[in-house]
A and B are shown apart, each in its own frame.
Chain A
Amino acid sequence: MSASWIRAGGLVLAAGYGAFIVWVYVARPQSLAEVKGGMASSVGLYAIDIPRFEEGRMLFRTDRFPEARAAFERADPAHRDPVTQYYIAYSYYRQGWGRLYNDDALFRQALQALDRATQLAPDGRVHVNDPGLGLPDSDALRAELQHGATLEARDFNPMRLLRTRQ
């Protein structure tokens, strides 16, 4: 092999590897599963585990939220699917929702998951056609979470006790 071919091959290899390193610092994956999922997603080969996702939805409907999140995590280990991340955010919301007060820590986690979901959505908004969800899109869920996480005058309204979980 001539030196020119070695240089050309090396140039392609080094540029590709450098681009991968730059991608890692832009995407900032937090686990090897996210690295693999991110790479597969960038070439359109990433797909969630549908049976695990359906198992998560079934657990979600029966209010078993930690178990549902575990199933969703198994379905989307790379955190690349906006709908699965939306369900994870929704599970934090429902678990943290309270008639008297909300769990701020769970609401914060819901917002983090919702941020991931909206970042992955092509138009920055997630819409899910599920009649069991009172808040079918990410904008409505975000507003509900932000209201729940802040102290407002209407929080002292006694009628608040009659409100329903979405």
Chain B
Amino acid sequence: MTPLTAGAPASGTLGGPSDPRSYDRRSAVIESIVLPLLFWTVAGAGGFRMTVTGEMRFLPPSLFVLVLSGLLVGALVQAGLVRPAERVFERATLLEGMAGAVLIVSLFAATAQLLNGLLPEQGLLALLFNLFFAILLTNTMAAEPDARRLLRSVAVTFGWALLMKYVLLAGLDAPEPGLTARLARAVVRGATLGGLPLDPWSPIVGYVMFASAAAYLGGLWLLGRAAVTAAKSMPPPPSS
């Protein structure tokens, strides 16, 4: 796997990475507290919507979104960013295994709910977005990218999905659109057999999704970094 960090931190200092107890405590904080809380927060925020009248909605993921999140988590495992077997089964203690399991579950929940937030909720646009994501993710798995490239690919995909749903399509649905927006709206309406099938959410939802996507990518980066550090700290295999 391509390392995600530029280089190993300085060693030999008190409490530094060379101190096994300090390293163990740090990895425990990241694995058991920081990452699960981050991913659960993303899972909570991904289905959050707010109507223009200020009412909150919490939308659970659809079955198709769960399939898409399975594909994305599969790609993360394939790239070595997530290693479920090492995180859960190949641990020294039951407590470590349970912490790893909670982390994997929270990662899956965050992935599902973030995709839920980035895809349109209903109509032909939802079908098109879902198909597009399914093709993109299977194509990514077929390409077998390393961790760094997969992270970039996911960041670009999420960025475009955010722009499409919360900037472009939300702009098309604005009460007073400009000429370009009106032309694009006419095209999209033709493609969607009638009105623009978008729910009129409050603009705050776009900001929440942006923060969620950034937090999710940050979590993945941290997860990959922890995996690399753990791999470096492992003793070399015995020579034959």
Contacts and interface: CB of A to CB of B under 8 A. Distances in A.
Interface in B47-72: 47, 54-58, 60
Interface residues of chain A: helix, strand, loop or mixed (majority)? helix
Contact of B28 (A6, A15, A21, A29): A6
Given A11-B95, A31-B55, A6 B105 contact: no
Contacts, number: 79
A12 B6 CA distance: 34
A21 B29 contact: no
A163 B109 CA distance: 56
Nearest to B24: A3
A21 B60 CA distance: 11
Interface residues of chain B: helix, strand, loop or mixed (majority)? helix
Interface residues of A, number: 23
B229 to A, nearest CB: 14
A8 B95 contact: yes
Q: Which 9 A-B pairs have the closest CB atoms?
A: A10-B32, A14-B36, A10-B33, A3-B28, A6-B28, A3-B24, A21-B44, A7-B32, A30-B55
A10 B29 contact: yes
A98 interface: no
Interface in A53-105: none
30 contacts: A2-B25, A3-B25, A6-B32, A7-B32, A7-B96, A9-B32, A9-B33, A10-B31, A10-B32, A10-B33, A10-B36, A11-B32, A11-B95, A11-B99, A13-B36, A14-B33, A14-B40, A15-B102, A17-B36, A18-B43, A21-B40, A21-B43, A21-B109, A24-B44, A25-B47, A25-B58, A28-B58, A29-B58, A30-B55, A32-B56
Interface in B106-124: 106, 109
Interface of A: 1-4, 6-11, 13-15, 17-18, 21, 24-25, 28-32
